[in-house]
């Protein structure tokens, strides 16, 4: 495969077509590290267009690493509210505290120290090093994977392993602008080499792409199945207020307010004639049975909420959806 001028072609395309994103603003080196840290945490399992307004609000309310390290949890969760996966916010604060205490408030610039920080794994550490520290690294996100699979026409299970895809990154060679180059390759995957209907005639490296030459763009993916889980939510109403509890049962919503609920068998869910709602999460499909209760009970760590004060509370998106549903009937 002829790789002549691959970095030059990719960067030329990027300079003319890159998206204007708030974490790409020209700021000081220290602020760029902070912007990258926050945006990469937010972008874990969340799309760019969803993250943008949350990032802008977060940076306005918590403008630097030192303030993040000492922000109170309520303010932190309010800034994160609606973005989901609240453990990311908790890990982000833990990371900020550790960076302040152990690294004098400066993000470490090596992969070993970065991976010791809460919530930072292989990809996030690589992204921070490439984007913030201008290290010659190509982070392997889903966009880069897809570009490589199409360039090399990788279809077999053994061809799309993490190990083999990392070896194929040699195709990209290196650039004198590592930060821009890493972002440029990911940008090609996001804007051109899309999962369906790739815009090949706009691609700067289509002449190097075997999938383009074969006119076959189907992507072989590892089999992933979202778990389907069934729940019963108990709806206690007192006039126009509803009973919610502080969650201490489900790890993924620790200490957030939810309706009293428990996991149930599929058979019970299917056989019930009560109102049901479906909520898709990135790692789970939640099917929730809404069971109205006539008699209010006393439950530890419970609260009564109505539509007027719900905005001041930190609630998971599915709690809001249940609330919106039950308040209509």
Catalytic residue set: 40
Q: Give 289's strand partners.
A: 232, 276
**Angle at which helices 6-17 and 178-191 cross, to 10°:** 70
Contact 268, 230 (CB under 8 A): yes
Contact 233, 279 (CB under 8 A): no
Q: Give 154's strand partners.
A: none
Q: How many CA atoms lie within 13 A of 290 on its CB side?
A: 21
Contact 8, 103 (CB under 8 A): no
Number of Cβ atoms within 10 Å of the Cβ of 273? 6
Number of Cβ atoms within 10 Å of the Cβ of 241? 16
Site of tokens 């030192």: 66
Compute the distance between CA of residue 25 and CA of residue 214 in angstroms, rounded to an integer: 39
Q: Give 286's strand partners.
A: 229, 279
Site of tokens 């109403």: 237
Say which residues have a Cβ less than 8 Å from residue 264's Cβ, sequence separation at least 6: 230, 231, 232, 289
CA 91-247-325 angle, to 5 degrees, is 110
CA quadruple 74, 101, 38, 148: dihedral, nearest 10: -140
Contact 185, 10 (CB under 8 A): yes
Q: Nearest-CA neighbor of 279 among 327, 236, 317?
A: 317
Number of Cβ atoms within 10 Å of the Cβ of 136? 15
């Amino acid at each position: 495969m002829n790789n002549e001028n691959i970095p030059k072609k990719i960067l030329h395309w990027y300079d003319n077509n890159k998206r204007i994103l708030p974490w790409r603003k020209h700021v000081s080196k220290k602020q760029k590290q902070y912007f990258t840290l926050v945006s990469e945490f937010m972008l874990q399992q969340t799309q760019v267009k969803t993250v943008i307004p949350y990032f802008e609000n977060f940076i306005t309310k918590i403008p630097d690493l030192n303030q993040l390290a000492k922000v109170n949890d309520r303010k932190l969760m309010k800034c994160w509210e609606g973005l989901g996966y609240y453990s990311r916010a908790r890990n982000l604060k833990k990371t900020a505290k550790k960076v302040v205490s152990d690294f004098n408030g400066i993000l470490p610039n090596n992969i070993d120290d970065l991976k010791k920080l809460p919530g930072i794994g292989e990809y996030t550490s690589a992204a921070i090093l490439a984007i913030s520290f201008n290290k010659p690294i190509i982070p392997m996100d889903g966009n880069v994977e897809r570009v490589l699979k199409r360039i090399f026409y990788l279809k077999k299970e053994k061809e799309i392993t993490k190990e083999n895809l990392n070896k194929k990154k040699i195709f990209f060679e290196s650039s004198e602008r590592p930060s821009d180059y890493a972002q440029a390759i990911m940008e090609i995957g996001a804007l051109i080499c899309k999962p369906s209907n790739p815009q090949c005639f706009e691609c700067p490296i289509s002449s190097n792409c075997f999938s383009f030459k074969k006119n076959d763009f189907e992507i072989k993916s590892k089999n992933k199945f979202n778990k389907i889980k069934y729940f019963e939510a108990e709806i206690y109403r007192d006039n126009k207020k509803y009973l919610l509890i502080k969650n201490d049962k489900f790890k993924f919503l620790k200490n957030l307010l939810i309706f009293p609920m428990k996991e149930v068998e599929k058979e019970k869910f299917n056989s019930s004639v009560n109102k049901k709602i479906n909520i898709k999460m990135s790692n789970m499909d939640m099917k929730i049975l809404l069971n109205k209760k006539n008699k209010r009970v006393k439950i530890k760590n419970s609260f009564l909420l109505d539509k007027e004060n719900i905005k001041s509370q930190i609630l998971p998106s599915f709690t809001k959806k249940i609330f919106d549903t039950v308040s209509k009937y």
